[in-house]
Amino acid sequence: MRYDMQLPWWAWLLMGTALVLFILMVVISVRRNHGVKRSLFASPYTLWMLLFTIVPVILIGYYAFTGTDGTFTLDNFRNFWDSNFDMKKLVGEEYASTIPRGTVNVDTLTYSLWMAFLCTALSLLLGYPAALFMADRNMKLGSSLVVLFIIPMWMNFLLRTIAWMSLLEDNGLINSLLRSIGLEGVQLMYNSGAVLLGMVYNFLPFMVFPIYTSLSKQDINLSEAAADLGCSPMQALMKVTIPLSLPGVISGITMVFMPSVTTFFIPRVLGGGNTMMFGDLIESKFLTEGNWNVGSALSLIMMVLILISLSILRKADPNGEGGGIV
């Protein structure tokens, strides 16, 4: 394992080339237009994407398909399929056949996908009624509820997660209340339930706001027309409101599922090491083991899965009409 990883020389050359090309693009654009066009103000974002998105992705691809000596190899992906792959190489071919295939990495990915699915489903079940309530034009508290959903997002993500520890731990507020009324305390921390609770709490606003935006844009005359045609409120909801809000639902699913499947801080704090998700596994490969090659391979696998998920969800909203965060 390498703990003194350094970027290869071509990575620095690539970043330098990108910076030079960016400067040349700006100079040529200014000279051709005899001044600064409004579109040129997007140039800092372009530079940011080049240096901190495109170049890192290239580096991940490089390390994923190379070994510690820099030669091309697929062993990093074999390590994903068989978590005992490195051990088998150490003991030699004679004893490698006696070691079963390690399923830690695959099982961790499966567990992460399942937890992300549960988080997305619960966020949708809780978020859609909340968004529907806030978007109701007859409710005067709708705007106030939007503010109440936004205010927690102003707090740091880490602080919001750590705050749950004071509620769920053995001597926390919930267990203290249970003991005060004569009941026994319960184990609320360091399990999958606590992790799922923290994920839903942190990602629920990302489900609510796209749906709320989509619902608030709907023409109220459509619901009134459905009522005039004999639809009950529930029928109007099922046949008019929900189908028209599907772009917002798809956007919310995307914005919740993607961070849920890659999260790593919530399982560490609320799971206490008893639960590991794929984000924790990738972090341990990079920071604990110093194995950038296997870590990059795992990151690339996760990136491919996310792109596949996005392409599937994109088919449900081909025009990109999903609402965003207000």
186, 219, 212: which is closest to 130 by C-alpha? 212
For residue 147, CA distances in Å to 15, 22, 159, 266 come to: 41, 40, 19, 25
Q: Are 58 and 90 in contact (CB under 8 A)?
A: no
Q: Give the pLDDT of the chain (326 residues) as one tens digit per residue.
A: 444 556 677 777 877 887 788 788 777 776 777 666 666 676 777 778 877 888 888 889 999 999 888 889 999 999 999 998 888 888 877 777 788 889 999 999 999 999 999 999 999 999 999 999 888 877 777 777 888 888 888 888 888 888 888 888 888 888 899 889 888 888 888 899 999 999 999 999 999 999 999 998 888 888 778 888 888 888 888 888 899 899 899 999 999 999 999 898 899 889 887 788 999 999 999 988 889 999 999 999 999 988 888 888 777 666 655 554 44
DSSP one-letter code for 72: B
Look at residue 252 in the predicted model and tell me its pLDDT: 93
Q: Which residues pair with 66 in a beta bridge?
A: 72
Ramachandran region of residue 182, left (φ > 0), alpha (ψ -120 to 50) or beta?
left
Domain parsing of the chain, residue ranges = 104-289
Burial status of residue 304 (CB atoms within 10 A of its CB: 0-12, 13-18, 19 or more): exposed
DSSP one-letter code for 284: I
Look at the block and give the residue holding tokens 């609510």.
Answer: 208
Q: How far apart are the first and last CA of the chain?
A: 46
Q: Which residues pair with 183 in a beta bridge?
A: none
SS3 66: strand
**Amino acid identity, residue 184?**
E
Look at the block and give the residue holding tokens 């050359």.
Answer: 13
Look at residue 289 in the predicted model and tell me its pLDDT: 87
191, 190, 208: which is closest to 122 by C-alpha? 208
Look at residue 128 in the predicted model and tell me its pLDDT: 95
- CATH superfamily of domain region 104-289: MetI-like (1.10.3720.10)
* DSSP string over 180-246: HTTPPP---SSSHHHHHHHHHHHHHHHHHHHHHHHHHTS-HHHHHHHHHTT--HHHHIIIIIHHHTH
Q: How far apart are CA 141 and CA 143, in angstroms?
A: 6
Ramachandran region of residue 68, left (φ > 0), alpha (ψ -120 to 50) or beta?
alpha
